[in-house]
């Protein structure tokens, strides 16, 4: 059942011993939103706690600073920024799947698995919803809470760069700054710092970029060895996948990554009029218009050839490439 | 003489045949601000024009779309976002140096060379001042003007990432979005697209990065040949200079560029507590605490060695590096 913001505020007022669940592979929004709400609830004298299936990334650990991990029997369980029960991860799902009282989320794809759901898919980040919720609850937004919410809003929007932002996103960020969010430090740590592993992976990936079809297509390829040597992780590879499409005039950017089992995971990103989902569908995959994926087998050269043929056909069919 | 925003608005009301001067090596703020004001003035039936010593970068040409280059004898000349008369470039300086009636700027270093100066050094961009000025003048802010101002504000703040922003910056950007600024397209073109020359220079520069002193220092070096091969330019090299300091744990990042005359231009960027100006002062250069520069002679290896010695000494003196 979907509920409104004010119903959510009312509901939370009547509850105590609240457990907040962040999604697996946690990002700035699920953690920032969870810790903001946790701080607000404990600030009102309630018991609250945040848990997550995966370890908190180093750069986001400050969100939990000073939050005591309380022990209590949870009476009310809230999933934060989690569109699907699968996103909780195996451990949390096994423990809580049938017991989730509330979900607060901004993903249009939310499967409404919780007893009640506060969904606002116009919000660029769940942290925007939590901000409005705390105002509705007349909670004091301390500088620490402002830091958490600013982290959520800024990380889910690439620091206000993505097309998901609205003027409301910027106004909320402005208010968070006025409430004491340490935005200069946060921006530097979150957006101006590269981990050593990311720097190593980026260097290897950029070196592997090949340009095809007169500059309309750029493809990078990362082998198991390159990935292992860099010490990088999935989240960092996701960011690497965006690099080929960033090059001027490129309509189709692709990132190929060799998996542990020797197959190749391919991520395709396109600029209009090219359709990433169509290109990947022809290769047994799928996704969105601008970002899609598929898995290919064989040697790296074979995988690359299959992919390039599909991209070539798509460019020809869009009349971006002339045959002959 | 410094004048206020409302005095500036009054002054502009009484003037016609207005020539706007953007600074040399024009960026999004000088051009966005100039074209926004030009459009507003012509929208009021006045004659106005923007000129600049250098060509407008390709990615910023849309700012001038639909602005007719009018021919008229200028009666009132305004320098926009130009802190020093030297920044106008040789041609404009020769023509107009003694005739500049007004300067609108946000640089604290403004030398007050104009007859009158509207200076607000708390603004993150001159476009913020122009936005307030147009409101003061009760000018209609059309979507094209909003695009120009959004470009100014976003480019001077790294898309709202730099520490120069305030909550006011974000509120102005929010209002510009509501007024029709095509922010999704602008963000993509301005911040998610790399020119081919930038991509080539970045690749070469990242490959040249050396890590020193246990990860506290990262240095890149670009030779004349590398620079020439990439087809890149000074503005792009400036952005490259920021890369070494972005790596996790690096306190001193440096970028060495071989000049046409064979000397080496060095750009040093630091994180606290390291002081870039002090490091460069010891090498005959200077600058700010976080960003400074100097010029070194000899071979590349000799230049690098001189630089590394100065950095090592600074790290030791800050007790970040232990001798022995």
pLDDT in tens, A259-287: 999 999 999 999 999 999 999 999 999 99
In chain A, what percentage of residues exceed pLDDT 90?
A: 95
Residue carrying structure tokens 């020769």: B94
User: Rounded to a whole number, what is the distance in Å from the CA of A297 to chain B's nearest CA?
Assistant: 29
Q: What angle do CA B29, B34, B38 make, to 5 degrees?
A: 150
Give me the pLDDT at residue B170, please.
98
User: Rounded to a whole number, what is the distance in Å from the CA of B15 to chain A's nearest CA?
Assistant: 34
Whether the predicted interface score ipTM is above 0.85: yes
Average pLDDT on B176-180 reads 98
B209 contacts A207? CB cut-off 8 A: no
C-alpha to C-alpha distance for B14 and B32, rounded to whole angstroms: 23
pLDDT at B235 over 90: no
pLDDT digits (tens, 9 = 90+) for A162-221: 999 999 999 999 999 999 999 999 999 999 999 999 999 999 999 999 999 999 999 999
Residue A14, Cβ density class (10 Å: 0-12 exposed, 13-18 middle, ≥19 buried): exposed
Size of interface A-B (CB pairs under 8 A): 99
Closest partner residue to A206 (CB to CB) among B173, B187, B203 is: B203
Which residues does B232 contact at the CB level (< 8 Å), separation at least 6? B197, B198, B200, B201
Calculate the average pLDDT of chain B.
96
pLDDT at B200 over 90: yes
Pairing of strands A291-296, A264-270: antiparallel
Asked if residues A292 and A280 have their Cβ atoms less than 8 Å apart, the reply is yes
C-alpha to C-alpha distance for B250 and B217, rounded to whole angstroms: 5
Mutation to test the A interface, candidates B59, B167, B253, most A Cβ within 10 Å: B167
Judging contacts by C-beta atoms under 8 Å, the chain A residues touching residue B206 are 199, 202-203, 206
Calculate the average pLDDT of chain A.
96
In chain B, what percentage of residues exceed pLDDT 90?
A: 95
Average pLDDT on A107-126 reads 97
A162 touches chain B (CB under 8 A): yes
B203 contacts A249? CB cut-off 8 A: no
Q: Across the strands, what pairs with B253? A: B218, B269
Give me the pLDDT at residue B324, please.
64
Judging contacts by C-beta atoms under 8 Å, the chain B residues touching residue A160 are 159-160, 170, 173
pLDDT at B305 over 90: yes
**Closest chain B residue by Cα to residue A184:** B163
Radius of gyration of chain B (CA): 22
B206 contacts A202? CB cut-off 8 A: yes
Q: What tokens appear for B299 in the block? A: 């071979």
Dihedral over alpha carbons B66, B71, B75, B81 (to 10 degrees): 40
Which pLDDT band, with edges at 50, 70 and 90, does A324 fall under?
low
Give me the pLDDT at residue A230, please.
95
Give me the pLDDT at residue A322, please.
87
Closest partner residue to B171 (CB to CB) among A174, A194, A249 is: A174
Per DSSP, helices labelled H in chain A are 5-13, 28-43, 90-96, 126-136, 143-155, 167-178, 183-191, 196-208, 224-230, 234-241, 243-246, 276-281, 300-317
Q: Which domains does chain B carry? A: 5-191 (3.90.1640.10), 196-317 (3.10.310.30)
pLDDT at A319 over 80: yes
B167 contacts A174? CB cut-off 8 A: yes
Q: What 3-state DSSP class applies to B247?
A: strand
pLDDT digits (tens, 9 = 90+) for B251-279: 999 999 999 999 999 999 999 999 999 99
Residue carrying structure tokens 């130009």: B82
Give me the pLDDT at residue A69, please.
84
φ, ψ at A265 (rounded to 5°): -90, 130
Average pLDDT on B17-44 reads 97
C-alpha to C-alpha distance for A241 and A172, rounded to whole angstroms: 30
| Counts for chain B of helices (H) and strands (E), in that order | 13, 11
Which pLDDT band, with edges at 50, 70 and 90, does B197 fall under?
very high
User: Rounded to a whole number, what is the distance in Å from the CA of B3 to chain A's nearest CA?
Assistant: 28
């Amino acid at each position: 059942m979907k509920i409104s913001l004010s119903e959510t505020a009312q509901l939370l007022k009547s509850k105590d011993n609240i457990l907040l669940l962040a999604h697996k592979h946690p990002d700035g929004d699920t953690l920032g939103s969870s810790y903001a709400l946790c701080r607000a609830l404990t600030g009102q004298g309630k018991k609250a706690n945040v848990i997550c299936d995966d370890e908190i990334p180093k750069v986001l650990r400050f969100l939990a600073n000073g939050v005591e991990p309380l022990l209590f029997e949870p009476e009310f369980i809230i999933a934060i920024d989690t569109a699907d029960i699968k996103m909780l991860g195996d451990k949390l799902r096994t423990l809580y799947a049938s017991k989730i009282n509330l979900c607060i989320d901004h993903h249009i794809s939310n499967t409404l698995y919780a007893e009640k759901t506060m969904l606002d898919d116009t919000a660029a980040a769940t942290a925007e919803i939590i901000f409005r919720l705390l105002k509705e609850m007349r909670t004091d937004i301390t500088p620490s809470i402002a830091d958490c919410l600013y982290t959520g809003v800024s990380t889910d929007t690439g620091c206000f760069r993505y097309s998901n932002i609205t003027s409301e996103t910027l106004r909320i960020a402005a208010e968070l700054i006025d409430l004491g969010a340490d935005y200069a430090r946060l921006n530097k740590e979150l957006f101006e710092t590269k981990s050593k592993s990311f720097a190593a992976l980026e260097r290897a990936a950029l070196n592997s970029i090949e340009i095809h079809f007169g500059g309309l297509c750029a493809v990078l390829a990362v082998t198991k060895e390159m990935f292992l040597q860099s010490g990088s992780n999935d989240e960092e590879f996701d960011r690497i996948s965006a690099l080929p499409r960033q090059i001027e005039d490129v309509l189709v950017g692709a990132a190929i990554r060799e998996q542990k089992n020797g197959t190749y995971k391919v991520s395709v990103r396109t600029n209009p009029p090219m359709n990433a989902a169509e290109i990947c569908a022809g290769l047994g995959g799928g996704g969105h218009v601008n970002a899609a994926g598929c898995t290919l087998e064989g040697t790296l050269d074979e995988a690359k050839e299959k992919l390039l043929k599909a991209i070539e056909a798509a460019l020809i069919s869009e009349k971006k490439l002339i045959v002959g």
